[in-house]
Amino acid sequence: MYKFIITIDCQPGTRDRILAQAPEAQAATRAEPGCIAYDFYTCTDNPDRLVFVESWKDEAAHAFHMRQAHTQRFIAHHEQFHDRLTFETINVAST
């Protein structure tokens, strides 16, 4: 599985502009082959922070996602409102 977290620190007051486009992007992405989960969260400690959590069957499924028109539109839309973006790949912790 290929799983990651994207944290976006939005320019003040722009969070809702990003979220307005999120449902369309989310529905299209969840319908893609290889998408296991694609969720958006708002940070309760910082109203200008969004957290996206994505899980994909593998890196190839994510690469396919990145080539889709709906993905490119959503990225172009939210990039204009970033102060900072962090991309972190994650794995299940083993004990």
Please list the residues that pair with 42 across neighbouring strands. 50
List of residues 6+ apart from 11 with CB closer than 8 A: 48, 81, 82, 83
Instruction: Give the C-alpha separation, 38 to 29, whole Å.
Output: 7
pTM of the model: 0.88
How far, in whole angstroms, is CA 17 from its chain's centroid? 15
Length of the chain: 95
Tell me how many helices (H) and strands (E) the chain has.
3, 4
Along the 95 residues of the chain, how does pLDDT read in single tens digits?
999 999 999 999 999 999 999 999 999 999 999 999 999 999 999 999 999 999 999 999 999 999 999 999 999 999 999 999 999 999 887 76
Largest distance between two CA atoms of the chain = 41
**Domains of the chain (ranges plus CATH)?**
2-90 (3.30.70.100)
